[in-house]
Amino acid sequence: MAYDLVIRSRRAVLPGGTRAAAVAVSGPSIAAVEDYGARLDAARQVDLGDLALLPGLVDTHVHVNEPGRTEWEGFATATRAAAAGGVTTICDMPLNSVPPTTTVAALEEKRAAAAGKCWVDVAFWGGAVPGNEASLVPLHEAGVVGFKCFLLDSGAPEFPPLDTAGLRTALGTLAEVDALLIAHAESAAEIKPLEATRDFWSFVDSRPRVAERRAIEQVISASAATGGRAHIVHLSAADCVAMISGAKAAGIRLTVETCPHYLYFTAEQVPEGATEFKSCPPIRDSYNREALWRGLEGGVIDCVVSDHSPCAPELKLAASGDFAAAWGGIASLQLGLSAVWTVARERGRTLDDVARWMASAPAALAGLTAKGRLAVGADADLTAFDPDETYVVDPAKLYHRHPVTPYAGRTLTGRVRQTWLRGTALLQDEGLLEGGGETPVGRLLKRG
């Protein structure tokens, strides 16, 4: 039998561990995984040698913002950045776009906006907001991968938060169809008012760790009361790890993610007025970063996803360095793998760890069964990665709509050299996408 494509690597990151292997592709799927030197007939043969072959990453936390705030980011630009960063599937968040994805009609509008523009596969989160209880099951049946809610003001007036009763109602409704609820877990009662300031520590103090802790307690209680599946997005406060671990041990159906910026940066590194570092919850001190890493390494934190949340540059930077006024969101979709690997490698972690945190665990979270692993029957979504190469982040080489990022000028270790989506190569040398004018090959996915 002749395959369409065979890719060989001496460092193929397979579900059972990294080894030399040949991955054979037929049509859109992985058809066989054989020994590195196996004789396999194929229309195209690629030998990566010592370059690592990873499963294409699955980033379940991306704010594309289209339609409605396409000047912040959009499907064409976000998915090109994803492809260049080794990410072959993104899950788009339901807010910051207008309309937010809180009804089936809004989901259809979003799918129409994305159609034909995507360089990688795109799935969608629905939103749980006050008053849309009747839309939750229909959205689930329409294929969203789960539902996002806020427990305090989201910053987008069209996406209000749930109160304690609303959280329980939503989780109870979703439990009946075994759908997932993901929560932005900060408690409004613990957030302090912030005057105009260029001092990052003042901003951090205004969103203390206890705000995350109180909100996570609320989610744990609601999950315990309803049996619903809950997930904490972008955990920053590492002192919550013990509580999450305890809840998991007690059988609460809880998972948690953190983000590259919490694992890479520390608050001590943030210059005065550098609002490109602003996110909610904030980047915290170096002790917190160490504890977050331990929570990840110990298996309490399940996955690492970007929370790529750009905005128009004037909202981020023209606030004259005022952390109170600037938009909170960090753009990193293209850089997450390198940022995480840079620190992970120094800590003695392996590519197997990174593939679990950034591909297989997020795919499982979102119920995307064909994604996130190099295994027979899975989609042939693959990333060639040089784990030894270092580079300096040049914002001019980012495909994000706006190149504003706190990683500018940082030296990162590990570079994406090629990305395949269902067997189709997406990059040329130097990270340029193949045939810029050709039809993008990404598909719009439904859960499953």
Residues that bind Zn ion (CB under 5 A): 307
In whole angstroms, the minimum distance from the beta carbon of 77 to Zn ion comes to 17
Let me know if 383 is exposed, middle or buried by CB neighbors in 10 A (0-12, 13-18, 19+). buried
In whole angstroms, the minimum distance from the beta carbon of 326 to Zn ion comes to 16
Q: Between 91 and 421, name the residue whose CB sits nearer to Zn ion.
A: 91
DSSP string, 383-411: EEEEEEEEEE--GGG--SSS---TTTT-E
DSSP state of 356: I
Nearest to 23 by CA among 11, 50, 337, 119: 11
Cα–Cα dist 169/163, whole Å: 10
In whole angstroms, the minimum distance from the beta carbon of 184 to Zn ion comes to 7
Nearest to 392 by CA among 375, 368, 411, 407: 411
Cα–Cα dist 189/218, whole Å: 12
Q: Between 66 and 307, name the residue whose CB sits nearer to Zn ion.
A: 307
In whole angstroms, the minimum distance from the beta carbon of 282 to Zn ion comes to 14
CB 300 within 8 A of CB 321: no
DSSP string, 233-265: -S---GGGHHHHHHHHHTT--EEEEE-HHHHH-
Q: Between 91 and 416, name the residue whose CB sits nearer to Zn ion.
A: 91
Q: Between 54 and 280, name the residue whose CB sits nearer to Zn ion.
A: 280
Cα–Cα dist 339/331, whole Å: 12
Q: Between 307 and 379, name the residue whose CB sits nearer to Zn ion.
A: 307
Q: Between 278 and 373, name the residue whose CB sits nearer to Zn ion.
A: 278
Q: Between 307 and 381, name the residue whose CB sits nearer to Zn ion.
A: 307
Which residue type is seen at 410?
R
In whole angstroms, the minimum distance from the beta carbon of 224 to Zn ion comes to 25
Long-range contacts of 313-321 (CB under 8 A, 24+ apart): 313/402, 313/404, 316/275, 316/276, 316/278, 316/402, 316/404, 317/275, 317/276, 317/404, 319/275, 320/198, 320/273, 321/198, 321/272, 321/273, 321/274, 321/275
Q: Between 106 and 333, name the residue whose CB sits nearer to Zn ion.
A: 333
In whole angstroms, the minimum distance from the beta carbon of 30 to Zn ion comes to 31
- Tell me the residue nearest to Zn ion as measured from the CB: 307
CB 260 within 8 A of CB 336: yes
In whole angstroms, the minimum distance from the beta carbon of 68 to Zn ion comes to 16
In whole angstroms, the minimum distance from the beta carbon of 61 to Zn ion comes to 6
Q: Between 64 and 238, name the residue whose CB sits nearer to Zn ion.
A: 64
Q: What is the dihedral of CA 301, 95, 444, 336, to 10 degrees?
A: -40
Q: Between 73 and 307, name the residue whose CB sits nearer to Zn ion.
A: 307
Both tokens of 220, joined, read 């744990």
In whole angstroms, the minimum distance from the beta carbon of 425 to Zn ion comes to 30
Both tokens of 13, joined, read 């990151």
In whole angstroms, the minimum distance from the beta carbon of 391 to Zn ion comes to 27
3-state secondary structure 3-47: EEEEEEEEEEEECCEEEEEEEEEECCEEEEEEECCCCCEEEEEEE
